[in-house]
Amino acid sequence: QNETSVTEFILLGFSSNPALRLCLFSLFSVLYSATLMGNTLVFVLICLDYRLHSPMYFFLCHLSVVDICYASNNVPHMLRNLLGQGRTISFAGCGTQIHLYLIFALTECILLAVMSYDRYVAICHPLRYALIMNRRVCLTLAAVSWAFGFIFGTLQASLALHLPFCGPCEVDHFFCEILAVLQLACTDTTANKILIFAVCVCFLLFPLALILISYLHILSTILPIHSAAGWHKTFSTCGSHLTVVSLFYGNAIFMYMWPGSSNSPGMEKVLSLFYSLVSPSLNPLIYTLRNKQVKEAL
């Protein structure tokens, strides 16, 4: 009987100290600009330079698109919040943020696993690489990544947004993160949390296991190599991907699967900032600085 029809949420965001908010606005603006410019540059280079028209860079191109969309989903509204231009967001806008956040996050989980499989085929089966990773296979793997992200992201968002909400409608976050919004539901959300955990098992632990298996096979292949040039070439192509995987999966597992992690709003904000700003801005640098072909194309 106390349930009310919620039309908007209030994003509490960060500190109310004006000086601190201005500093955060400046820092986040720089990181967001770096995300847009870095990933756009990688996307344009891959499209324009024929030397980068290979499966490895095809998937990297998709990763750049995911990072741009992922950051643009919530960072502009966060910057507006930091400037004091209004902390409210409509129910529809909040639902859109949750939906897109889940789609891009889950898509990136699958893409990183696909990229590890590409490296496995390239190093362990070099003579059959062009045959195995042909154009149709690459398009299929990319389409499956986006399709799985869309389907399961839509499922989770739909179940969360159909819950009854009642006041106060204050989201202790800088954007509509699903765990923070679930805390405002005036009903039992155990089923939603179980679903989130199950999806995390499928999209975090299972792909991570495939990635580890791929790199174990790669390690067993390169161990007999006694050439320093061969080792350097292998690690130059795999090191970048391993760095991104470690950062992405490590933070995601801690945030959504570690016991008690959801009880710390401050920690949730820090980890969400990593996903929204730090990781998307670092990915172009990691892949560019450690990759000779991208540097030559640049």
Q: Which residue, 229, 297, 240, 279, is CA-closest to 54?
A: 297
Q: Across 131-281, where does the E strand assignment appear? A: 170-171
| 120 CB-side CA count, 13 A | 15
Q: What percent of the chain has pLDDT over 90?
A: 31
CATH of 8-296, one of 3.40.50.10880, 1.20.1070.10, 3.40.50.720, 2.60.120.200: 1.20.1070.10
The pLDDT of residue 129: 92
For the ranges 11-15, 174-178, 254-258, the maximum mean pLDDT occurs at 174-178
Q: How sure is the predictor about 136, in pLDDT bands with cuts at 50, 70 and 90?
A: very high
Report whether the peptide linkage leading into residue 168 is cis, meaning its omega lies within 30 degrees of zero: yes
Give the tens place of pLDDT for each residue, 116-131: 999 899 888 989 999 9
Q: How far apart are alpha carbons 32 and 74 in whole angstroms?
A: 11
User: 234 is written with which tokens?
Assistant: 């292998």
What is the DSSP annotation of 247-298?
HHHHHHHHHHTSTTGGG-HHHHHHHHHIIIIIHHHHHHHHHHHT-HHHHHH-
Lay out the sheet containing 8-11: strands in order across: 88-90, 8-11, 170-171
Task: State the average pLDDT for the chain.
Answer: 84
The domain locations on the chain are 8-296
Predicted TM-score (pTM) of the model is 0.88
Helix (H/G/I), strand (E/B), else coil: 175:
coil
Does 274 have pLDDT greater than 50? yes
As a whole number, mean pLDDT of residues 117-146 equals 93
The pLDDT of residue 265: 62
User: Of the given ranges (110-119, 142-151, 158-167), which has the lowest mean pLDDT?
Assistant: 158-167
| Beta-ladder partners of 11 | 171
As a whole number, mean pLDDT of residues 72-95 equals 85
Does 2 have pLDDT greater than 50? no
Q: How far apart are alpha carbons 46 and 54 in whole angstroms?
A: 9
